[in-house]
Homo-oligomer: A and B are copies of this chain.
Amino acid sequence: MSFSKLFCKNEPGGGKRERRKEARPGELLDAALDLFVEKGFAATRVEEVAARAGVSKGTLFLYFPSKEELFKAVVRENISGRFKEWGEEFQTFEGTGADMVTYCMNAWWDRVGATRASGITKLMMSEATNFPELASFYQQEVIKPGQSLIRRILQRGIDRNEFRPLDLDYAVYSLIAPMMFLILAKHSGGVCARDDIVLDPKKYIASQLGVILQGISATAAPAPATAPSPHLPT
């Protein structure tokens, strides 16, 4: 259930003036998302949010009782609760495990990573400790469904003898970490990747897939036992 649905009617009817009026909360949420992602919660001023949405400071408080509630609305609004939908998609998926992983990562990028909503990931990272209830919400709505989905994909590949046996509790991160990193790189002003080499998302995903798929393939030679580092100094 999307928060903005409560306000933003999709019917195109009505004059431009009226549509704007009705669109206010959505515009505020959009503006707030951008600013919260860019500057963080505390460093974002409500007046700036209002200004970017083209309304006055007071108007913001007509729709959101406080800055904190605005923040929560931004997060809730932009959390893709689409995992059930995706789950069903994969239920009927016909193809190899590799296809499925490939499709999954690309779809995630296209539908979430590449959109403004992906900023929520950075936001949650930065603000989780300041908003524990949002963190819980995020756990329930994103982390757990997301991991479940990935587990099922990997399990399917293992069952089909396409992937080698894996400890799924940890293997999921072989898919999650690269995607998370990509999203963060996009929103973190160049402190994740080199700022002098453009990071092309599609190439990045292809590169990661190349490693991961070979890395979990059942047909590939097993990786050498991870020997303890020979002479690790303190």
Q: Which residues on A are within 8 Å of B, measured CB to CB?
A: 38-43, 89, 95-96, 98-99, 102-103, 106-107, 110, 122, 124-130, 132, 135, 138-139, 143-144, 147, 166-167, 169-171, 173-174, 176-178, 180-182, 184, 188-195, 197, 203-204, 206-217, 219-224, 226-230, 232-233
How many copies of the chain does the oligomer comprise? 4
Residues of B close to A38: CB separation below 8 A: 129
In angstroms, how far is the closest chain B Cβ from the Cβ of A127? Answer: 7
Residues of B close to A139: CB separation below 8 A: 190-191, 194-195
Contact B184 A125 (CB under 8 A): yes
Contact B128 A125 (CB under 8 A): no
Contact A143 B229 (CB under 8 A): no
**Sampled A-B contacts (11; CB under 8 Å):** A132-B189, A143-B195, A173-B193, A174-B211, A180-B181, A209-B226, A214-B217, A214-B222, A217-B220, A217-B221, A221-B221
Which 4 residue pairs are nearest across A and B when measured between Cβ atoms?
A: A215-B215, A42-B42, A211-B215, A214-B223
- How far is it, in angstroms, between the C-alpha of A102 and the C-alpha of B223 when the chains are bound? 12
Contact A167 B207 (CB under 8 A): yes
Contact A224 B213 (CB under 8 A): yes
Chain B residue, CB-CB nearest to A167 = B207
Residues of B close to A209: CB separation below 8 A: 223, 226
In angstroms, how far is the closest chain B Cβ from the Cβ of A223? Answer: 4
Residues of B close to A223: CB separation below 8 A: 98, 209-211, 213-214, 217, 220
Query: A126-B126, A214-B214, A215-B216 provided; 5 other pairs, C-beta below 8 A?
Result: A40-B42, A40-B126, A98-B226, A99-B227, A170-B208
Contact B170 A192 (CB under 8 A): no
Contact B181 A173 (CB under 8 A): yes
